Amino acid sequence: LLQKYGYTHLSAGDLLRDERKRPGSQYGELIENYIKEGEIVPVEITISLLKRAMDQTMAANSQKNKFLIDGFPRNEDNLQGWTKTMDGKADVSFVLFFDCDNEICIGRCLERGKSSGRSDDNRESLEKRIHTYLQSTKPIIDLYEKMGKVRKVDASKSVDEVFEKVVQIFDKEG
């Protein structure tokens, strides 16, 4: 779907998990501790990984200059770091917000945890993540909503229904 519209998908979480596993990474242990505690990794680390991935993508193909950044910004610090580092270099077109009940999210992540091997797919970490979301991330979504940039998807629906809604959004946004 993203390739159809010319987007490159970058997952902040995947970049952090990959960096955590990279031999010789100066950030590996620090990232692991933040993830395990359900806390948000310091913005300097996440931004540097995102910027590196964006730069590498565009260096390989200058036409690839549209990105779907998954899982970022997560808090006010992330947003300020993004603005400071990327202002004038990247514009946020819209925020794709998958809205879903907390218990449904926990259930899905626990199910994923049976095979994911992720250290944070357990109830304790998930409840911490929800607390962090309500305290830190929701206000950022609210801020983008006031700017008219949020495109909301009811993520409690089936995979097919959610996908169809996302297609409609990308058809409209381009």
3-state class (DSSP) for residue 6: coil
3-state SS, residue 10: strand
The string of pLDDT tens digits covering residues 2-40 is 888 999 999 999 999 999 999 999 999 999 899 888 888
- On the question of a common fold for 1-92 and 95-173, the answer reads yes
Question: Which residues lie below 8 Å from residue 152, measured CB to CB, with a gap of 6+?
Answer: 97, 99
* R_g of the chain computed on alpha carbons: 16
CA-closest candidate to residue 35, choices 54, 56, 14, 53:
14
Query: What are the residues facing 67 on neighbouring strands?
Result: 8
pLDDT in tens, 45-103: 999 999 999 999 999 999 999 999 999 999 999 999 999 999 888 999 999 999 999 99
- Tally Cβ neighbours within 10 Å of residue 81: 21
33-69: b (≥16 Cβ within 10 Å) or e: ebbeebbbbebebbbebbeebbeebeeeeeeeeebeb
- CATH code of 1-92, in short, is 3.40.50.300
**CATH number at 95-173:** 3.40.50.300
Judge contact between 16 and 120, C-beta under 8 A.
no
pLDDT one-digit tens code per residue, 31-50? 989 988 888 899 999 999 99
| pTM of the complete model | 0.83
> What are the residue boundaries of the structural domains of the chain, listed by start?
1-92, 95-173
Q: Residue 167 carries which DSSP code?
A: H
Residues in the chain: 174
